[in-house]
Chains A and B, each alone.
Chain A
């Protein structure tokens, strides 16, 4: 048997072998790229994402890349018709897509929440008027413990699309009181007293400095605005305690908190209505602790009520 005959026995073998070797090589390269992508993601997301979520992201990246390489490069290389698979997969994908729209939406939202990190476990947050502590951030949902101690699961799609208020994202925050004092009191003295209270309060921050000023001359009171900055961990305790301290201290210094009052002014002199004998007899007997009703002379006329005017007066 000569060489030509020998080669004729293997007419297609080298091509098939080459295809298989090529496919294996591409797969090895894809695995290597997947590993490199994993290392890159691990390094870049290590400080941003917690370990549990990072593992999932790494797996999705790694297997996603390999699947992509198989579909795009290896299947055409080995001669497997991928168009049929794609058509079947496409139809199947549409069905699955419709069925799992919200699940995928939550998954993708969860991924972005993990990367963007608008909230962290332990934060106090308000998501679409759901207020509480973040207990856990999963791939599909975020778990909240409300201030009432209730367990609340919010889908990540809602978390991602809703307005999020994170009450503890910054190191400090400001709170405000409106202290209304009487018009007869000295507002400057009231401000001095309140400033002294704030100065003696350790966690009322020196800088940013507190704001104290007369804001409005209201219907019933001179309104003083008190704005205080506090560490984020201390503001609530201080807010709930300090207002009563301010109220008591002001009163100890003769400055009173005003309350709404209405004074009725009469255009003419106020006159007592005279009661006739007849009307008096119709009245029931007065209780013993009151003196007997005084009878008036019939000749006296009954004066009608004068015209009234309403007016307001400061507290």
Chain B
């Protein structure tokens, strides 16, 4: 499903039908799902369509750049240690038009995952986050990539105490999503600073022809120090 398509084409998956038709110099993009249709006319357009995963914080409309993953069971980590766990995250798919120069523009977004939002922190000082519940796996969980991807998370306990972690909050600015035929992954870290404070961020994978990096919608603002990091200041 995650690939480049040359118009005209029709794609069916999980109740969605995506089709792009040629109309003289124009392209007509159409997506149908549950009797609802999204239709757009792309004027005087040539190019290919790229379907790839995007940061899962955009649907039904973008109101936040934070993703909160709630662990089904807490994990406990010893002082001064580093442990690896795997989490799942919801998948959102972006449909891009790619021009001849390689420039791209988002045409549409969809998801097959359940969408829910939550508040991290207090109503006056917290952050609204996209909510996702995940088991904390100790090995690669082999998720169904139509619905879920996996996050390889390194938890680093910089404190001198045992720490219990029940959630992880990530900032979409800085997310790096990689996809292959049967894998859709991110690589992240969580550095625990104290009982109520942790920092999260993302790391890169080595890309290959079979394992590509997706186009990012949220590009990091480099002028701001730690602008692409997630700060968990309302508890772990």
* Chain A residues proximal to chain B, CB less than 8 Å: 169-173, 199, 202-203, 205-208, 229, 231, 233-234
Given contacts A206-B131, A231-B128, A233-B63, contact A171 B123 (CB under 8 A): yes
- A231 and B117 within 8 A (CB): yes
Report 22 cross-chain contacts, Cβ distance below 8 Å, ordered by A residue: A170-B124, A171-B123, A171-B124, A172-B119, A172-B126, A173-B123, A199-B116, A202-B60, A202-B115, A202-B116, A202-B117, A203-B117, A206-B116, A206-B131, A207-B118, A207-B119, A207-B120, A208-B119, A229-B119, A231-B64, A231-B117, A233-B63
Supposing A231-B63, A233-B63, A234-B63 touch, asked if A206 and B117 sit within 8 A by C-beta, the answer is: yes
What chain A residues lie within 8 Å of B192 (beta carbons)?
Answer: none
A172 adjacent to B116 (CB under 8 Å)? no
Q: How far is the CA of A281 from the CA of B116 in the complex (A)?
A: 75
Give the distance to chain A from B57, nearest Cβ to Cβ, in Å: 12
**Contacting residues, chain A, for B60 (C-beta < 8 A):** 202-203
CB closest residue in chain A, given B132 = A206
Question: Once bound together, how far apart are the Cα atoms of A173 and B47, in whole Å?
Answer: 45
Cβ–Cβ < 8 Å partners of B116 in chain A: 199, 202, 206
The smallest beta-carbon distance between B207 and chain A, in angstroms, is 32
Q: Which residues of A contact B115 (CB under 8 A)?
A: 202
Nearest-Cβ distance from residue B183 to partner chain A, whole angstroms:
27
Which residues of the partner chain A approach B153 to less than 8 Å between Cβ atoms? none
| CB under 8 Å from chain A, chain B span 61-104 | 63-64
Q: In the bound complex, what is the Cα–Cα distance between A206 and B68 (angstroms)? A: 11
Q: B interface vs A, CB < 8 Å?
A: 59-60, 63-64, 115-120, 123-128, 131
A205-B127 contact given A231-B63, A233-B63, CB 8 Å threshold = no
Give the CA-CA distance A178 to B143 in the complex, in Å: 41
Question: What's the minimum C-beta distance from A56 to chain B, rounded to whole angstroms?
Answer: 28
**Count of A-B contacts judged by CB separation below 8 Å:** 46
Q: A202-B115, A202-B117, A203-B63 are in contact. List 19 more A-B contacts (CB 8 A).
A: A171-B124, A171-B127, A171-B128, A172-B123, A172-B126, A172-B128, A173-B123, A202-B59, A202-B116, A205-B117, A205-B119, A206-B116, A206-B118, A206-B131, A207-B119, A229-B123, A231-B64, A233-B63, A234-B63
Whole-angstrom distance between the Cβ of B100 and the nearest chain A Cβ? 37
What is the CB-to-nearest-CB distance from A205 to chain B, in angstroms, rounded to a whole number?
5
Among residues of B, the one whose C-beta sits closest to the C-beta of A231 is B128
Chain B nearest Cβ from A125, distance in angstroms: 16
A208 / chain B contacts, CB cutoff of 8 Å: 119, 123
- Smallest CB–CB gap between A70 and chain B, Å? 43
Selected from A169, A170, A205, A234, the residue in CB contact (under 8 A) with B118 is A205
Q: Closest Cβ of chain A: how far from B202's Cβ, in Å? A: 24
Q: Which residues of B contact A234 (CB under 8 A)?
A: 63
Q: Which residues of A contact B127 (CB under 8 A)?
A: 171
Query: Which A residues are in CB contact (< 8 Å) with B117?
Result: 202-203, 205-206, 231
Q: How far is the CA of A37 from the CA of B131 in the complex (A)?
A: 48
Chain A residue nearest in CB terms to B130:
A202
Residues of A close to B63: CB separation below 8 A: 203, 231, 233-234
What is the bound-complex CA distance between A208 and B63, given in angstroms? 17
Considering the complex, give the chain A residue whose CB is closest to the CB of B124.
A170
**Residue from B59, B119, B131 in contact with A171 in the complex, judged by beta carbons closer than 8 Å:** B119
Q: Kindly report which residue of chain A lies nearest to residue B127, judged by CB atoms.
A: A171
A256 to B122, CA, bound (A): 37
A227–chain B nearest beta-carbon distance, Å:
13
Name the 10 nearest CB pairs between A and B, nearest first.
A206-B118, A202-B115, A170-B124, A207-B118, A172-B123, A170-B123, A231-B128, A206-B131, A172-B119, A205-B118
A contact residues around B123 at 8 Å (CB): 170-173, 208, 229
- Give Cα A211 to B125, complex, Å: 21
> Residue of B at shortest CB range from A206?
B118
Closest to A173 in B: B123
The CA of A231 and the CA of B66, in the complex, are separated in Å by: 13
Alpha-carbon separation in the docked complex, A169 to B139 (Å): 43
Contacts of A170 in B (CB 8 A): 123-124
Q: Give the distance to chain B from A299, nearest Cβ to Cβ, in Å.
A: 73
Q: How far is the CA of A217 from the CA of B120 in the complex (A)?
A: 36
B232 to chain A, nearest CB (A): 15
Contacts of A206 in B (CB 8 A): 116-118, 131
* Chain B residues within an 8 Å CB radius of A202: 59-60, 115-117
List, in ascending order, chain B residues with CB within 8 A of A229's CB.
Answer: 119, 123
A175 CB, nearest partner CB in chain B, Å: 13
Q: What is the distance, in angstroms, from A251's C-beta to the closest C-beta of chain B? A: 22
